[in-house]
Copies of this chain bind each other. A is one copy, B any other.
Amino acid sequence: MIERHLMKLRARNDVDAREEAAIRDALDDVRVVEADTVVIRPGQDLDHSTLLLDGLACRRKDLRDGRRQVTELHVAGDFLDLHSFTLKRLDHEVVALTRCRIATMPHRALLEITERHPHLARVYWFGTNLDAAVHREWAVSLGARSAKERMAHLFCELEIRLGLVGLVQDNSYPLDLTQGELAECLGITPVHVNRTLMDLRSQALVEFRDQRVTIPDRAALCRAADFDPSYLYLEKRPR
C-alpha cells in the first residue's frame, strides 16, 4: 500500500524498519476520489496530511478571472500536502486529475513522529523542501524557457519521478492528462500545447498518445529540455 511512498523516500534517505512501522501506524483512513475532484480547498482548516497511493494529482492556483496555474504534479507515493502540517491551511487547491487512492495522516500523528523519530522528521522536512525545489525549477521553466523546452523538461521530470516508484517501462510511462491540463502546467494555451506536441513528435523526441508518454531517445530529449536532474536530489544522503 505505501510501497511507492517508501520507494520514493528510500531513493534519497535511509528509512529503517522502526520508521517504516511508524509511518504505517500514522496512516489511518484510505479512500478513493474520482477524477477532477478538488481534494483540498485553499484556506480550508487542515488537521491531517494526505498521501497519494495511486493516481495523478496536482497543486493548482486559480485567479479570479478563471486563469489557472498548476504548480506541481503529484504521482503515486507523493504527499499531496505534507506542508499543511506546519501551514495548517493551504494557499492552493489540491486536485485529483485521475481517480486517486489516498490515505490520510493526522497532524497529531505527525507531531508524534517528530518527537519520537527525529530522523524521520528530517526526512519529511526534506520532502517538503524537495517540493520547493520542484517549484523553483518550474519557475525557471515558466520564466526562462520556450514552450517546447518547458514541455520537454516536464516530460523529463516525470520520467524520473515515475521511474523512482516503478511506473516507467520501456521508455514509456502513463500520463492521464488532457492537452488542456498540460497547458495549465506549462503556462501556455491548449492550442499551443497541441502544436508543441506535434513539433516534439515530428523530431521523434516525445510521443504523447493514449494517456502515455514515450521517449524514444532520452538523451536527445534531455538536451532539448536543457534538463539537469540535480534539482531532484537523487543521490542518497547519509542518515
Classify chain A: how many residues form its interface, as a range: 35 or more
Give 15 CB contacts A-B under 8 Å.
A42-B230, A43-B230, A61-B140, A63-B145, A63-B226, A71-B136, A86-B125, A87-B233, A91-B233, A92-B136, A115-B118, A125-B128, A128-B132, A135-B136, A139-B142
Closest to A43 in B: B230
Q: Digit string of A119-155 for contact with B (CB within 8 Å is 1, else 0)?
A: 0011001101111110111111011110000000000
Number of copies: 2
Residues of chain B within 8 A of A122, CB atoms compared: 86, 114
Closest to A133 in B: B91
Residues of chain B within 8 A of A61, CB atoms compared: 136-137, 140
Kindly state the separation between the CA atoms of A131 and B130 in the bound complex, as whole angstroms: 12
Quote the shortest CB–CB distance from A224 to chain B (angstroms). 13
Task: Give the contacts of A192-239 with B (CB-CB under 8 A).
Answer: 226, 230-231, 233, 237
